[in-house]
Chains A and B, each alone.
Chain A
Amino acid sequence: MSSDSKTPPSGYDVQREHMLDFKVDQQLAEVVESDAKNFILTTVDEVFNWAKLSSIWPVTFGLACCAIEMMATSATRYDMDRFGAGAFRATPRQADLMIVSGTVTGKMAQRLKLIYDQMPEPKWVIAMGSCAIGGGPYFKYGYHVVKGVDLLVPVDVYVPGCPPRPEVLIDGLMRLQDKIRGRKGRFITPKWVTDYAKKIPYRK
C-alpha cells in the first residue's frame, strides 16, 4: 500500500488496511533467516490423492432419465463444480469418472465397455439409479436390459433412487472422495432428518 499522502481519503478504513497487511516481506525474511524452517510433513500419496479427489472430471455419459438429474446436479442450483467434479468431458480420454446414469441396454453394453476401456487410469465408476444398480423397474420383462452395470465394469459407489435426487448424487460423489482419500465411507443420518421423517403425515 503506497503511503505518499499522510491523510487517507474519506471513507477509507484504516483498520481494514491493517487487517489486509499480511506483512509478507517480514515473514519471508523470518523464514529465510531464522533456523526454524517452515515445512509441512506429508506423504506423496496423500498429496496425490488430495489432487485426485479435488478434480474428478466425469465423462459426459448420459443414458436415460437419470442423466437429466445428473445435468440438474451440474446446473444452477446444485452446482457439482463445488466438489471439483463439474467439468464434464466429452471424450473419455480426459476423464476420471464415469457416472453411469441410466439403463444399460444390450446394444449399449459394448459401447459402455469400450468407453470405460478408453479412460486412463486411475478411473472410477458411479452407478446412478436403480437401473444401473440392478435393472430397476425393467428386471422382470426387460429382455434388452442389462441387470446392473457391475456385470460389465467394476463399480465404486452405488447411488440408489429412481431417479436419485441431486443431493444423493452429490453424497455419492463425496463417498467416492472418501474412498480416494483412503477412508471408509460413512453415512450417519442427521438427527433432524429422522425427526422430520417422523413428522411427514401418511397420505391416503
Chain B
Amino acid sequence: MAMDTKKTNGWADQDDVPEIKSELLELNMGPQHPATHGVLRLLLKTDGEIVYQVTPVLGYLHRCAEKIAEGVNYKQWVVYTDRFDYLAPMCCNHAYVTAVEKLMQQEVPERAEHIRVAVAELSRIASHLIALATFGLDMGAWTPLLYCFREREEILNLLERISGGRMLYNYMVPGGVRYDIPEDGWVKDVLSFITMLETKKIKDYNQLLTYNKIFIERTADVGVISKEDAFSYACTGPVLRGSGVKFDCRRNDPYSVYSKFDFEIPVGLGEMGTVGDCWDRYMVRVREIEQSCRIIRQALDTLPEGPYQAIELHKPVKVPAGAAYTRTESAKGEIGHYIISDGGQTAFRNKVRSPSFCNLQVVEKVGVGQMVSDLVALVGSLDIVLGEIDR
C-alpha cells in the first residue's frame, strides 16, 4: 500500500534509498503511559517508526460533570469546574462564574473583578510552568521540571493564602469572590514574586530549555499545524496563536475587566523553523507568562477599594430563564459554557466546550506521517489536560 509520508530530515531525504515498506504495526500508547499526560490512550498504526494513523481513545477520566450540573445548584457546581483543568483551576472558575453572571445580568464589584483577574493570571502562569516542565520531560530534560515546580509552589502558596486551598480553590462565586485579599501583605508578595519571575526565572528557563540545541532539534519543524487546520479543528489558545493567528478572547471578545489592561498577544513567528511547529507553541507559552505578569501588576496596582461580593454568600443563586454561550480564555484556550436555564437554581443543561478536547483532535491529522517520537513532541506541545477532555 502506498505510504504517503512527509519526508523528514535524515535518511528519508536521500532519493537513492529504496522505500522499504513493512507490515503495519498496531501500537497501543496509554492509558497508563508517562508521555500522554494522564490517561489518554492513542491507538497507533505504524509503518516501522512512521505513524500511519492515530486514533485517540478518550473517556478514561469521564467523570460525568455535565450530568452533575443538572443535579446540583449553580454555586455547588463551581467545585466541579475546578476539576476540569486542575492545572489552572482559577481560570475555569472564572469562566463559569462569568457565564452564570452573563445569564443573570449581574453586576460584579470592580474590586472582585480585579482580584479575579489577578488570581486567574497567577493560575495561568502555574499552568504554563507545568506545560514547560512536562514538555521538557517528554523531550528528555528532567532538570527544568525541578525549576518549574519550585516556582509553581510559590504560586500555590500565594493562592493558598487568599483562598484557603492549595491546588483546587472553589474561590469564585457568582457575584464576586469568596474572600477578600488577606491583610498580611499579599499584594506586596505577589508583586515581588512576579518581578522575580520576570527578571530572573524566565531567563533561567530560556537558558535551560528554550535555546538548548537538543531541544530545538527535537521540536523545530515538528508537528506543524497550519492556520487552516487550526481554524477547521477549532484550535484555540496557545495552539492557535502558535500557528500565527493573533486571537485571544481576553482581547477580541473581552470579558471581566481585561479591556482595561494593556498587554500583548504573542504569536508564533517561526523563529527556529516553520510557523506553527512545536517550538513556536512552546515559545508562545513562555511569552505569555511575561504578559500575565504585566496584567497582574496592572490589576493589583489599580486595585479599587469597595465590596468584593454582590450577592451574599449564603443566599442561593437564581438564574432567569434563557440560554447563552459564554467563552473565556483559560490557560489552554477558549473555554465555553453553554448554559440553558429554566429559571430555577439548577441549570437545565450545561455543555462545556473545553479547549483541550478541540485541540487534541488535530493529532488525527497532523500526527500522520511523523515519527513516533515526534508524536510525543506533538502531544506534549498541545498541553492537554485530561480532566477537561473527558469531563
Contacts and interface: CB of A to CB of B under 8 A. Distances in A.
A and B touch in the complex (CB under 8 A): yes
B179 A203 contact: yes
A107 B62 contact: yes
A103 B86 contact: no
A142 interface: yes
Contact of B68 (A71, A115, A141): A141
Contacts of B152: 72
Contacts, number: 96
Interface in B29-51: 31-34, 38-39
A108 interface: yes
Q: Identify whether the interface residues of B are mostly helix, strand, loop, or mixed.
A: loop
B109 interface: no
Given A68-B86, A107-B60, A162 B68 contact: no
A111 B166 CA distance: 30
B154 to A, nearest CB: 10
Nearest to B146: A76
A163 interface: yes
Interface in A46-98: 60-65, 67-69, 71-72, 75-77, 90
A63 B71 contact: no
Contacts of B59: 105, 107, 144
A76 B150 contact: yes
A63 B390 CA distance: 12
B61 A103 contact: yes
A120 interface: no
Q: Identify whether the interface residues of A are mostly helix, strand, loop, or mixed.
A: loop
Contacts of B17: none
Contacts of A62: 38-39
A143 interface: yes
B167 A69 contact: yes
Given A72-B153, A76-B150, A64 B61 contact: yes
Contacts of A102: 61
Contacts of B365: none
Nearest to A103: B63
A68 B38 CA distance: 10
A64 B86 contact: yes
B340 interface: no
B167 A65 contact: yes
Given A111-B32, A115-B32, A163-B167, A63 B63 contact: no
Contacts of A67: 38
Nearest to A108: B60
Nearest to B71: A141
Nearest to B66: A141
B63 A105 contact: yes
A133 interface: no
A68 B60 contact: no
Interface of B: 31-34, 38-39, 59-64, 67-68, 70-72, 79-80, 83, 86-87, 130, 145-147, 149-150, 152-153, 164, 166-168, 179, 313, 386-387
Given A76-B146, A111-B31, A141-B67, 8 more contacts: A62-B38, A65-B86, A72-B153, A76-B147, A77-B149, A103-B61, A138-B68, A142-B63
